[in-house]
Amino acid sequence: MPGIETLPRTIILLTALGLSACTLGPIPNPLTIGGGPIHLDALPKPGNSLIERNGETVVLLLKEVIDARKEAPAQKVGDIRATVIDMASTELKLDQSISTSVFAALKGQLEADGFRIVRDAAMPYDFEVEAVQKDFRLDIVDQDELNIAADITLRAKNRDILWAGIVTEQSKRFSGVYGDSRASIVSYFNRGLNNWTIKASTSIRDSLFKAYPQTLTASERKRPAILALDGVKTVTEVKPQEVVRVQPTAAPVIANVPSAAPITTPVAAPSKHKGVFTLTTTPSKAKVYIDGIYYGVSPLNLDLEPGVAVCRFELKGRKTVTEKVSIRAGQTTELDVNFDN
């Protein structure tokens, strides 16, 4: 009878599979692999200077981040309502507390910007920084939504408030053709957290330069420009803590001399290790973003690291313009963007 001789083989095969299952345990569902909590590890943007006051590195007491979210102290940071190819959970969770993740990211960026950080109030320090986390969320939906917000307070050692503001980072993205994955979610979250820490650290740095213009310096590079940042709302404005003393100068002696050639403003030669990027727009006053970081409004003259920079120009009522520019060490690169074209 056809198939009878194959029956023993079938029985043997089924028996072997059963024994394997007993030995190895249940076969895991591939959709649940990697479905656990995620780990955030935002990489700070490196700087090349130390922030000093009277010749000594400025020390910040960075206090523990307070988690004031509605979900606190849970490690949940979002809902998953769209397909993720290697995660089966309906909630997005961290492998540690939100306070720990934000503290580590902010500490890393402040150190990269030239500060020394302590977390023990018994140690010597110059100023203290407090962060109260109001939002820290990434929802995985048809269009992923990231929201990070915290109240930042910068205090003098006598507890007087030097500056206070709300620092936010918000963005949305489509997951793309292949959908979301665990790796793409972590990368997107890390990028948003990194942008937030850059805004927070820059606000702290610029506020100190406003408050102490006489004694605060940035070694090994020119004094950083004070920037206007998107996503930062000042609550308490900085007041100068030092009196700027101007040395009196003698009145100029005016003599009758032949007319001279017009005086021109010298343009600084580019650094051997950086390139000068001069950019203008028509009309002017366009917001300028380089590699996602806001640098100010046009026109601008910047010292940048060599490499390819992605520049985005935004002007109200005009279409956003994006350009890629190659910055070369020791050379000047010029770019003019015309919104009317």
Residues 87-137: tens digit of each pLDDT: 888 999 999 999 999 999 999 999 998 999 999 999 999 999 999 999 999
Predicted confidence at residue 242, as pLDDT, reads: 54
Is the pLDDT reported for residue 63 higher than 90?
A: yes
Is the pLDDT reported for residue 277 higher than 70?
A: yes
Is the CB of residue 93 less than 8 Å from the CB of residue 76? yes
Predicted confidence at residue 239, as pLDDT, reads: 65
Which residue ranges form the domains of the chain, and what is each CATH number? 32-236 (3.40.50.10610), 275-338 (2.60.40.1120)
Name which of 225, 243, 339 is nearest 287 in CA terms.
339
Task: Tell me the whole-structure pTM to 2 decimals.
Answer: 0.58
Give the CA angle between residues 188, 232, 293 to the nearest 5°. 50
99-113, 241-255, 257-271, range with greatest mean pLDDT: 99-113
Which range (97-101, 122-126, 248-252, 320-324) has the least confidence? 248-252
Top pLDDT among 330 and 104 is at 104
How distant is the alpha carbon of residue 155 from its chain centre? 22
Quote the tokens at residue 30: 């591939």
Mean pLDDT for the stretch of residues 247-276:
50
- pLDDT tens track for 189-239: 999 999 999 999 999 999 999 998 888 887 754 445 555 556 666 666 666
Is the pLDDT reported for residue 268 higher than 70?
A: no
Collapsing DSSP states into helix, strand and coil, what is residue 299?
Answer: coil
Mean pLDDT for the stretch of residues 52-79:
89
Q: How many CB atoms lie within 10 A of CB 7?
A: 10
Is the pLDDT reported for residue 162 higher than 60?
A: yes
Is the CB of residue 306 less than 8 Å from the CB of residue 300? no
Q: 19 falls in which pLDDT band (50, 70, 90)?
A: very low
Predicted confidence at residue 95, as pLDDT, reads: 93
Is the pLDDT reported for residue 329 higher than 90?
A: no
Is the CB of residue 204 less than 8 Å from the CB of residue 154? yes
**What does pLDDT average to over the chain?**
79
Top pLDDT among 42 and 23 is at 42
- Give the chain's radius of gyration (CA, Å): 28
Is the pLDDT reported for residue 2 higher than 60?
A: no
